[in-house]
Amino acid sequence: MKICARTDVHYAIRDVVAWADKVPGEKIHLNIGDPDKFDFDTPEWVKEGMIRAIRDGKNYYGRSEGNPEVLKAIAQRDEKFSGRAPDHSIVTQGVAESIEFLFASLMDKGDNILLPSPIYPQYLAACTMNCGEPREYHCIEEEGWNPDPEDMRKKIDDRTRAIVIINPNNPTGAIYSKKFLQGVVDVAAEHDVPIISDEIYDMITFDDYTPMSSLAKDVKLVSLNGISKNYLSPGWRMGYSSFYNCDELYESCLRLARIRLCANTPASYGLLAAYTGDDSHIEPLKKKLLTRRDLMMKRFDEMGLHCVEPKGAFYAFPQCPGDDREFVKGLLEKEKVLTVFGSGFGEQGKGHFRVVFLPDEATLSEACDRIERYVKSL
């Protein structure tokens, strides 16, 4: 049976789970960015928003782009957050579906999209699926993993269809500075290429944060967001894309949205509840995460693993000795700690590994003890 080559896509974050399944015994999971698998839970008022919708009979097909009151809540949130409401938004099944709609609209064979390196692997797969080339530009580890506009300028050409940034970043935990963001905007303006700005962690920040829409006023921009991370509901698959200055791209994504009818209707009312609540869960969430980040950074420092301090999200991306695949495999087999090998995040991921600092302090300390023992054993 012939299977199309473009489905030869891989996703390191899930692939390591297959490795772990073969290793007997309890493991410490530092591999997946799912707070709900640790001591975090969806805020009650967000849950109740979805439950109310189910009970009230909102179990029908919603509008393909999202129901009007949901879109209104998104526009108001985006405006409150960045000072600027989008021209249009489309509710999607996670940010994953937004990426699919955008890449399918933009990429034909021979086209490329500029991706930050290291890169969240879904973006690599979306290029492969759409027969296009993922072209990675450097992020500068010495500059806190900020994106390098000069390297973008070297990589961009007339088949470049978009520039992706992920801010706050997965896998590095970076928050991009205004200076570097302005550099990205300049490159996009010079080449009239749209920016796709993935901002799914934009409320989980430990430093000053600048939404791209507040800066990129005269360029085409699509920002990606949702409640998976900020409102601790990843399993609901509630994302959206917001479009600025790019009506044609919106129209194309809307056509694709119509084909699959709609996203989950009750979950979209969970998003509505999230975006009209008081966000009182955010400060306790950040406080917990900050304590855990600091614990982990101190331990990495003590064991001599170089790691840029994460300023947002819940990932750290330390360097590791030797081949990163071997390192991660060995750590799993010898110490039963599951992490993700850096080369799963593209070229610049090599020689690193990704961990989450989501577990409670006791578990995180135990994980660090094991990592330290493993590093010393090499």
- If binding is defined by CB under 8 A, does position 147 make contact with a copy of itself? no
Q: Which is nearer to a copy of itself, 209 or 236 (CB)?
A: 236
Give me 60's structure tokens.
């029908």
β pairing state of 195-198 and 160-166: parallel
154 is a site residue for a copy of itself (CB under 8 A)? no
Alpha helices (runs of H) in the chain, residue ranges in sequence order: 12-21, 44-55, 68-82, 94-106, 121-129, 149-155, 178-191, 247-259, 265-275, 282-302, 324-335, 361-377
CB atoms within 10 A of CB 55: 11
Which position among 31, 82, 105, 223 is part of the footprint of a copy of itself (CB under 8 A)? 105
Sheet holding 340-341, edge to edge: 315-316, 353-356, 340-341
Please tell me the distance from the alpha carbon of residue 306 to that of residue 300, in angstroms, as a whole number.
7
Contact residue for a copy of itself among 6, 72, 325, 329 (CB under 8 A): 6
If one asks whether residue 232 binds a copy of itself (CB under 8 A), the answer comes out as yes
CA distance 209 to 204: 10
Alpha carbon distance 163, 82 (integer Å)? 20
Instruction: Identify which of residues 47 and 138 has a Cβ nearer to a copy of itself in the complex.
Output: 47
253-272 mask for a copy of itself (x: CB under 8 A)?
--xx-xxxxxxxxxx-----
Nearer to a copy of itself, 259 or 362 (CB): 259
Q: Is 87 helix (H, G, I), strand (E, B) or coil?
A: coil
110 binds a copy of itself (CB under 8 A): no
Does position 377 interact with a copy of itself (CB under 8 A)? The reply is: no
**Which 323-352 residues touch a copy of itself, going by CB under 8 A?**
none
Instruction: Name the residue nearer to a copy of itself (CB basis): 51 or 295.
Output: 51
Name which of 169 and 233 has its Cβ closer to a copy of itself: 233
Q: Kindly give the pairing relationship between strand 337-338 and strand 340-341.
A: unpaired
Cα(116)–Cα(102) distance, integer angstroms: 17
Work out whether 191 is an interface residue with a copy of itself (CB under 8 A).
Answer: no
Which residue lies nearer to a copy of itself by CB, 91 or 297? Answer: 91
Which of residues 144 and 234 has its CB atom nearest to a copy of itself in the complex?
234
Question: How far apart, in Å, are the Cα atoms of 268 and each of 97, 250, 259?
Answer: 14, 19, 18
Site track for a copy of itself across 52-81, x = CB under 8 A: --xx-xxxxxx-x-----------------
| Among 30, 90, 107, 296, interactor with a copy of itself by CB under 8 A | 107
User: Using the rule CB under 8 A, is 218 a contact of a copy of itself?
Assistant: no
Q: Per the structure block, which two tokens stand in for 336? A: 């039963």
The verdict on 189 binding a copy of itself (CB under 8 A) reads no
Q: How far is the CB of 47 from a copy of itself (least distance, A)?
A: 5
Per-residue tokens: 145: 């993993």
Place of tokens 């991921």: 349
* Among 70-78, 100-108, 201-209, 368-376, the segment contacting a copy of itself (CB under 8 A): 100-108
**Residue 354 contacts a copy of itself per CB under 8 A:** no
